[in-house]
């Protein structure tokens, strides 16, 4: 009895079961398809429909791309090549080949192409310390100098113009540091007022005198020679790098206790957001000259940069305000209780957290701004879209559309996709909970 009992309960395995392959339906491609494509009848219908759409596009586009011609000096040459092969028309990429320089630089003097190229290459070390934490911190000095260097490289002329402009910022910074002991508010006001006074009153004569004494400079290139992706990048990069700090200041101003500052910021933000960008661009091209002191011919590209920056900054301010609103009051109180003053609390405690929350919105605004640079075509600047019209106007490439647009679209996509990937990297890097 007890023997039998022991026999039924106690158990010793004599041979181990080796690992076995999972059934086909639970494995690899089949499992993935079952879970993702054919998971229920609705998903099955959608899958089939999507497949049809994909097939339709590929069936149309594929042969067209297969018949690509890369080596041709005009559309008629492409047509001849297809006719000789007895094919219908395909993609004539010869136009990109033929007009690449124009698409990239517009009418920038060819013997000076090295200048924009150098400016672009130098942008890498300038962006490094801002984008990646492992880049040596010292390089941030180069980032600070870069905007003036890039201006000098792109437009040329006397070196004293960018130098005097930069001195305005130095003066502002000096005012902030020197007047700190008097309190945060006077120092802050001085930091804004001093550079403006410098630029309006002293900068012009100073640059003129210095150019007389020490005429250092390189060949000047007028703004109407700029074009193509050069213009998109110049406007896009400046707009992006200026609109973030301006947006931060506007967002802070909107939260300020001081009624004057607050209302100025609110009016500015609401006004700019309520007006289409294209209106602002027309204002830039037509009206801004009336407001500026007579005799100053203010460069059109710079005017556009200002407008694009203001436009993006208004959106940026609202995105950042969202980030600020998401921060618990306790963060401000803890910073106050530790004795941090307003700007230190903002810089060390509030902004790092608010900006982190706002990253998706900020990058969204950046991408929007970069794509909106194509609107400058309407005020006569030859951005890539404008150039595509100009190229089509030549007898060689009359009637060519898709190849140019696909190329331009692809380049824009690369930049925007890059920004989007970077923002994902940044969000991952800044995640501090449960790591």
Using the rule CB under 8 A, is 353 a contact of another protein? yes
Which 3 state secondary structure label does DSSP give 217?
strand
| 330 interacts with another protein by CB under 8 A | yes
Which of residues 219 and 341 has its CB atom nearest to another protein in the complex? 341
Sign of CA dihedral 139, 144, 149, 154: positive
Which residues, at least 6 apart from 286, have a Cβ–Cβ distance to it below 8 Å? none
Does the footprint of another protein cover residue 339 (CB under 8 A)?
A: yes
Supply 293's token pair. 């002191």
In the list 262, 344, 371, 392, the residue contacting another protein (rule: CB under 8 A) is 344
Residue (76 or 184) nearer to another protein, CB: 184
CA distance 41 to 270: 48
- Among 331, 415, 416, which Cα is nearest to 120's? 415
**Tokens encoding 167:** 């001195």
Q: Which of 336, 402, 409, 413 binds another protein (CB under 8 A)?
A: 336
Kindly tell me which of 140 and 145 has the beta carbon lying closer to another protein: 140
Q: Which of 331, 364, 394, 420 binds another protein (CB under 8 A)?
A: 331
Q: Does 435 bind another protein (CB under 8 A)?
A: yes
Query: Within 13 Å of residue 229, how many CA atoms lie on the same side as its CB?
Result: 19
Q: What span, in angstroms and rounded, lies between the C-alpha atoms of 114 and 423? A: 31
**Closest CB to another protein among residues 189, 334:** 334
Give yes or no for a contact between 228 and 104, defined as CB atoms under 8 angstroms apart: yes
Q: Does 433 bind another protein (CB under 8 A)?
A: yes
Our CB check for another protein shows the closer of 137 and 434 to be: 434
Distance of CA 52 to the CA centre of its chain: 35
If one asks whether residue 333 binds another protein (CB under 8 A), the answer comes out as: yes
Q: How far apart are CA 281 and CA 301, in angstroms?
A: 10
Per the structure block, which two tokens stand in for 68?
């690509």
φ and ψ at residue 218, rounded to 5 degrees: -125, 175
134-153 binders of another protein (CB under 8 A): none
Q: How far is the CB of 263 from another protein (least distance, A)?
A: 22
**Candidate residues 76, 143, 184, 364; the one interacting with another protein per rule CB under 8 A:** 184
Fill in the DSSP letter of residue 71.
S
Distance between CA 115 and CA 105 in Å, rounded?
A: 11
Least distance from another protein to the Cβ atom of residue 352, Å = 5
Q: How many helices (H) and strands (E) does the chain have?
A: 20, 2
> Least distance to another protein from the beta carbon of 357, Å?
10
The site that binds another protein (CB under 8 A) totals a number of residues, namely 24
> Is 348 one of the binding residues for another protein (CB under 8 A)?
yes
Under rule CB under 8 A, residue 341 binds another protein: yes
Q: How far apart are the first and last CA of the chain?
A: 59
Q: Which stretch binds another protein (CB under 8 A): 31-39, 250-258, 340-348, 379-387?
A: 340-348
Nearest of 420, 416, 422 to residue 233 by alpha carbon = 416
Q: What is the smallest separation between the CB atom of 139 and another protein, expressed in angstroms?
A: 20
In the bound state with another protein, the residue whose beta carbon lies nearer, of 252 and 355, is 355
Range in contact with another protein (rule: CB under 8 A) among 60-68, 200-208, 279-287, 326-334? 326-334
By the rule CB under 8 A, 349 interacts with another protein:
yes
Nearer of residues 71 and 341 to another protein, judged by Cβ = 341
Q: In angstroms, how far is CA 94 from the centroid of its own chain?
A: 30
Q: Which of 73, 88, 352, 418 binds another protein (CB under 8 A)?
A: 352
Q: Between 5 and 329, whose beta carbon lies closer to another protein? A: 329
Nearest 10 degrees: Cα torsion 285, 278, 247, 237:
-70
The CA angle 416-420-425, to the nearest 5 degrees, is 145
Least distance in angstroms from the C-beta of 404 to another protein: 46
Task: Mark the segment that binds another protein (CB under 8 A) among 26-34, 93-101, 264-272, 331-339.
Answer: 331-339
Asked if 301 and 226 touch (Cβ cutoff 8 Å), the reply is: yes
Binding site for another protein (CB under 8 A): 183-184, 328, 330-331, 333-334, 336-341, 344, 348-349, 352-353, 356, 430, 432-435
């Amino acid at each position: 009895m007890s023997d039998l009992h022991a026999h039924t309960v106690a158990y010793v395995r004599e041979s181990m079961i080796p690992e076995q392959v999972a059934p086909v339906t639970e494995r690899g491609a089949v499992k993935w398809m079952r879970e993702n494509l054919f998971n229920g009848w609705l998903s099955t219908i959608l899958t089939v429909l999507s497949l049809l759409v994909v097939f339709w596009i590929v069936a149309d586009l594929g042969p067209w791309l297969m018949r690509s011609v890369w080596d041709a000096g005009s559309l008629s040459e492409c047509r001849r090549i297809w006719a000789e092969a007895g094919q219908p028309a395909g993609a004539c990429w010869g136009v990109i080949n033929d007009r690449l320089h124009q698409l990239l630089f517009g009418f920038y003097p060819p013997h000076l192409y090295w200048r924009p190229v150098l400016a672009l290459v130098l942008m890498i070390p300038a962006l490094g310390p801002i984008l990646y934490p492992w880049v040596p911190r010292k390089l941030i000095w180069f980032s600070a100098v870069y905007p003036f260097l890039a201006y000098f490289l792109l437009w040329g002329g006397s070196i004293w113009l960018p130098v005097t402009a930069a001195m305005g910022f130095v003066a502002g910074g000096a005012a902030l540091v020197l007047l700190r002991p008097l309190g945060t508010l006077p120092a802050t006001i001085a930091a804004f007022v001093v550079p403006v006074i410098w630029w309006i009153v002293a900068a012009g004569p100073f640059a003129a005198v210095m150019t007389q004494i020490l005429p250092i400079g390189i060949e000047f290139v007028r703004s109407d020679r700029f074009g193509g992706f050069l213009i998109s990048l110049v406007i896009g990069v400046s707009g992006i790098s200026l609109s973030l700090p301006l947006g931060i200041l506007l967002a802070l101003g909107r939260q300020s206790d001081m009624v004057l500052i607050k209302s100025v910021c609110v009016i500015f933000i609401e006004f700019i957001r309520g007006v289409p960008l294209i209106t602002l661009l027309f204002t830039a091209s037509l009206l801004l000259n009336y407001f500026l002191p007579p005799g100053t011919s203010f460069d059109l590209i710079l005017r556009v940069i200002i407008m694009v920056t203001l436009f993006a900054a208004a959106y940026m301010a609202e995105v950042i305000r969202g980030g600020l609103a998401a921060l618990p009051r306790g963060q401000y109180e803890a910073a106050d209780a530790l004795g941090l003053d307003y700007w230190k609390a903002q810089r060390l405690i509030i902004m790092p957290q608010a900006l982190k929350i706002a990253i998706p919105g900020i990058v969204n605004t950046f991408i929007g701004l970069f794509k909106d640079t194509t609107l400058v075509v309407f005020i006569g600047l030859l951005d890539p879209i404008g150039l595509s019209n100009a190229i089509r106007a030549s007898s060689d490439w009359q009637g060519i559309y898709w190849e140019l647009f696909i190329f331009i679209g692809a380049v824009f996509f690369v930049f925007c996709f890059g920004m989007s990937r970077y923002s994902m990297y940044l969000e991952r890097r800044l995640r501090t909970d449960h790591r």
